[in-house]
Amino acid sequence: MKYLKALIMVAFAVLLIYAASDLPYRGDPDNRMNQERSMINTPVAGSYYIEHAYHDAHTPNIVTVVLGDYRGVDTFGEQIVIFTAGMITMLVLRRSRRRNS
């Protein structure tokens, strides 16, 4: 059983390394993620962010503009997730205390 686990882990590592060898080189300007237009010739959102972020919100940090403004609903969802986590700990831990006492 121990050898089976080790074999599965090695096989998984080999799979990941094989998949990583197919990734594009970092910093290559011809990569698809650096293109202004995608495969089906529509404009990519990332180039719009880089070009217009400062003029839209006067914020030098593009990440803040993307998180707070362009994808504000997404950040709101993340905040709801954290809020839900806190509520769940409150429900689980406080109720167990009352039942024991």
Partner 1 sequence: MRSQFNSPIIVLGARFLAPYIMVFGLYVIFHGHYSPGGGFQGGALLAAAILLIRVATGRRVSRLQLKEFATTPLAVIGVVIYFATGLTAMIAGGYFLDYGQLPIPGMDPVWLRYTGILIIEVGVGLAVTAILVMIFDNMVKGEDYA
For 37, the 3-state DSSP assignment is strand
50 Cβ contact list (under 8 Å, min separation 6): 62
48 binds partner 1 (CB under 8 A): no
Nearer to partner 1, 48 or 83 (CB): 83
Site for partner 1 in 74-93 (CB under 8 A): 75-76, 78-80, 82-83, 85-86, 89-90, 93
Per-residue exposure over 38-55, b if at least 16 CB sit within 10 Å of its own CB, e if not: eeeeeeeeeeebeeebee
Q: How far is the CB of 61 from partner 1 (least distance, A)?
A: 6
50 binds partner 1 (CB under 8 A): no
67 binds partner 1 (CB under 8 A): yes
Q: How far is the CB of 39 from partner 1 (least distance, A)?
A: 29
Q: What are phi and psi of 37, to 5 degrees?
A: -125, 145
